Amino acid sequence: MTQRIFAANWKMHLGPQGTRAFMDTFLDMYAPLDDREVWFFPSAVALGTAVAAVQGTTGIVVGAQNVHWEAQGAFTGELSIPMAREAGATAALVGHSERRHVFGETDEETGSKVRALLDAGLTPMLCVGEKIEQREAGETLAVVERQLSVLGQYDRQALGRVVIAYEPVWAIGTGKTATPTDAAEVHAFIRQWLTKHGADRKTIRVLYGGSVKPVNIRSLMAEPEIDGVLVGGASLEPESWTAIAQTPLD
């Protein structure tokens, strides 16, 4: 079985000092396990701090929360992929719902970021998911398919390097969580779509994100379609994050 992924998205929290303190506590409590990887997406200013803190620890990946598709240029406030890679990042989030719905990122821009990351040898974690009105209108799978379409041009090898995170927008930071069955249904659809477009089913990893907490992590991870989680708020405290990251896999 492919290793599961437990990913922490810190959003606009924890600068270098907070990151260093978090990692000191987390690494004292966490024992690396062969059946999983733990991923961290810290703020851009704390990227190098996080990389330095986990250096030499097996099974831990550090990535950027957002990148620009151009390698350099007059893009004030943006983070280029070469800069992220120089800081030690080996992955990046792409198309997170906050990038799409707060900052207006388009599918075209998301696709450009995926291509640039693959070209640079970094792993894209492509986030997909529907808003509440789209779910209530029965449009969930159509929305997810549209967001996945940016991957339609890639071959089996490239698709095997992309991680998908299904995050229903209505469940992010709201306390609402899709039921494990609901999440598994969308995950199965994503897996089928990727397989139809040439992906090797054995390499596909689809994560769930949206109000994941220590109290619901085991029921989510019990679903065979769910290969891991992308966690926001509950990843900001070392104790709750360690509890999630150490969830037994039956």
Residue 132 CB: number of other CB atoms within 10 A? 13
The whole-angstrom separation of Cα 15 and Cα 233 is 15
Among 118, 58, 65, CA closest to 89: 65
Residue 150 CB: number of other CB atoms within 10 A? 23
pLDDT average, residue stretch 126-142: 94
Long-range contacts of residues 113-117, Cβ cutoff 8 Å, at least 24 apart:
113/67, 113/68, 113/69, 114/150, 114/151, 114/162, 115/69, 116/67, 116/69, 116/70, 116/71, 116/81, 117/67, 117/81, 117/92
Residue 96 is a catalytic residue: yes
Site of tokens 């397989």: 195
Q: Which of 37, 167, 223, 225 is catalytic?
A: 167
Query: In whole angstroms, how far apart are CA 57 and each of 51, 69, 116?
Result: 10, 30, 28
Return the percentage of the chain with pLDDT > 70, whole number. 99
Instruction: Set out the domains of the chain in order of their start, with CATH numbers.
Output: 5-245 (3.20.20.70)
Answer yes or no: are the C-beta atoms of 39 and 47 closer than 8 Å: no
- Residues 219-240 pLDDT 10s: 999 999 999 999 999 999 999 9
Is the four-CA dihedral 227, 233, 236, 238 of positive or negative sign? Answer: negative
How many alpha carbons fall within 13 Å on the CB side of residue 221? 23
CB-based burial, 50-59: b 16+ in 10 Å, e otherwise: bbebbeeeeb
Q: Which of 96, 109, 130, 187 is catalytic?
A: 96
The whole-angstrom separation of Cα 155 and Cα 166 is 21
- Residues 170-207 pLDDT 10s: 877 677 777 888 889 999 999 999 999 999 999 999 99
Residue 167 is a catalytic residue: yes
- Residues 206-215 pLDDT 10s: 999 988 999 9
